[in-house]
Amino acid sequence: MSEETAYVPLLGGAAQCLREGGLVAFPTETVYGLGADALNKDAAGKIYAAKGRPSDNPLIVHIAEVAAMDRLACVNDMARLLAESFWPGPLTLVLPKREIVPDNTTGGLKTVALRMPAHPAALALIRQSGVYVAAPSANISGRPSPTTAAHVIEDMMGKAGYIIDGGPVGIGIESTIVDVTGEIPAILRPGYITKEMLEAVIGKVMYDPAVEKPMEGVPPKAPGMKYTHYAPKGELTLVELSTDNQQQRVVHKLRELAEEKRRQGFRTGIMAPKETLSCYEGAADILVCVGERKNQATVAAGLYAALRKFDDADVDYIYAESFRGEGVSYAIMNRLLKAAGHRVIKV
């Protein structure tokens, strides 16, 4: 029996809930999603209410077969090639939408975002329900995305008909979003699938300018990118090296900042990877480990859970090491910089 088939007997109620226009939270390989029937405008509308999500922030439509692309979108060769190469997986493709996709699902845009998730429970749920599943991350808007069912319960208990527990997710940050409507595909949101991985399949790919720096007065193409996502309740500041690689100076600065705020009577937290965590002993009210620096995939997997721990501990000021680099680090920094409101101290 495949992993996906093993889920089938467990998902009858949840699948029916989706068919009847209800909300179901489910695991994917990236983060947990809050799903509804993508072609039922009232069902999709419930997602915005449950999350407190602005109505202009469109949803990603989750499908279980590549063939479903053509029912929902006008598909070009580039999109087909990317889908065949990376699905099921953490890649979302933005394409011109077809008439059947309601405005509630696309936030009024003429494009639709499509993804085939790689989690067996997600695929089983989509197939069993027989609907296409519109789903953003299953967090209250502005909170870190959920990477365990416990996070979903914190935010969505009583709002979703079902919450499916698939254990902690594997990747931990949201999918790479690529706009394939133009001549050169543009990354609207970096993720686990990197620019280099995409370029190996389709040639030149660019970053949408808004990924690097949100531009004053120019709305980003992925409307979600303009909101202060992933914000912990405490004020987060990143500390990084400006030139050499004496990590010791970062440790010194982080300790100094946290100790100063603590003297002023605030609750403080420090977030660091396993390699340096013990260097911060005694400098803050709580220390939170975020994976291993030498294995950045573990940092991605632990990032949102770490940020939630500071919320649980009611921390006022959080100081964290930064994770500049290539590949998945690029996506980690994209999320961290937003969580920090771009507050970075260089030493």
Binding site for ligand AMP (CB under 6 A): 57-58, 60, 94, 106, 109, 111-113, 136-137, 174, 177, 188-189, 221-225
Contact 191, 173 (CB under 8 A): yes
Q: Which two tokens stand for residue 241?
A: 């090296």
The binder of Mg ion chosen from 137, 175, 194, 237 (CB under 5 A):
137
Q: Which two tokens stand for residue 297?
A: 């995939």
Q: Residue with structure tokens 């309601």?
A: 102
Q: Residue with structure tokens 């990236």?
A: 30
A 10 A CB-CB count for 326 gives: 10
Residue 196 CB, shortest distance to ligand AMP, in Å, is: 22
Contact 35, 135 (CB under 8 A): yes
Q: Which two tokens stand for residue 150?
A: 């416990």
Contacts of 9 (CB under 8 A, 6+ apart): none
Torsion on CA atoms 69, 74, 77, 81, rounded to nearest 10: -20
The interface partner of residue 112, options being ligand AMP, Mg ion, none and the CB cut-off 5 to 8 Å by kind, is ligand AMP
Q: Which region among 90-98, 117-125, 129-137, 153-161 touches Mg ion (by CB under 5 A)? A: 129-137
Residue 86 CB, shortest distance to ligand AMP, in Å, is: 16
What is the spatial distance between Cα 12 and Cα 10, in angstroms, rounded to a whole number? 6
Q: Residue with the closest Cβ to ligand AMP?
A: 224
Residue 222 CB, shortest distance to ligand AMP, in Å, is: 3
Q: Residue with the closest Cβ to Mg ion?
A: 137
The nearer residue to ligand AMP, 134 or 283, going by C-beta atoms, is 134
Residue 200 CB, shortest distance to ligand AMP, in Å, is: 23
The nearer residue to ligand AMP, 93 or 124, going by C-beta atoms, is 93
Q: Which region among 74-82, 86-94, 121-129, 134-142 touches Mg ion (by CB under 5 A)? A: 134-142
Residues near Mg ion (CB under 5 A): 136-137
